[in-house]
Chains A and B, each alone.
Chain A
């Protein structure tokens, strides 16, 4: 992925020297031409086209914003109308398939930034996150919802 972006930059710089005008607009034109060339020769690259990865990063941001708004509203409802007899705070273990450090950091930041859930500990082998949640009806359902939204989106960005 990084190689493709570097190649695209290089093509854009070569384009700037060819047209001998060193302006930002020439760079953007060269970048678009380079992007088309990379799309044409996409069979020669080992990884996926980097455009898709940028697209999945945008998708991850949108999922995060949606979750942020939804869980903010649910916590707001919990605050203005607390129902102390049925509320069920708990700490549960969330098994994760993510391996690299930045993936785990990103996942735990996203879980912590959505109100209602906080990551309190990462296990030593980095396979389990311990999450505190404000109100959980069903543990499996909570784990599944995090796995289906954030973990899947992060995996799409990093491997996909």
Chain B
């Protein structure tokens, strides 16, 4: 039976942006505060799952037309590439580098290559979690 989910759908549309914004915040503060790639990725997954609960699987595949298996692969490549990049500078595998940069809007920011590794973790978490949920949910 199909019931009228107008309240759930309208609320999910609003709450999605709040959760997504919070996941980005958690992702970027990971270096100095609790958070990081894993939690940020899980929160993003949670936001997408909320949309999946409110709408159906086909709608979500239309608005997020990514192949999430490839997203996982890109994340793994990014993490491996960041770790392997240190070899080119004649330092041991997995050695990170950082420096302070003055960016136009952010002021003085310390940019760290651990951030790139973190975005790899983020993409792997989002990709694999959404792949699991889509393959369990979509049985047609």
Contacts and interface: CB of A to CB of B under 8 A. Distances in A.
Contacts of A101: 6, 9-10
Interface in A84-128: 101-102, 104-105, 108-109, 119, 121-124, 126
B3 A126 contact: no
A111 B51 CA distance: 24
Interface of A: 101-102, 104-105, 108-109, 119, 121-124, 126
A22 B11 CA distance: 37
A108 B7 contact: yes
Interface in B80-121: none
Contacts of A105: 6-7, 10-11
B6 A104 contact: yes
Given A122-B7, A123-B4, A124-B4, 8 more contacts: A101-B10, A102-B10, A104-B10, A105-B6, A105-B10, A105-B11, A109-B11, A121-B4
A126 B9 CA distance: 13
Contacts of A108: 7
8 contacts: A104-B6, A104-B10, A105-B7, A108-B7, A109-B11, A121-B3, A122-B6, A122-B7
Interface string B1-34: 0011011011100000000000000000000000
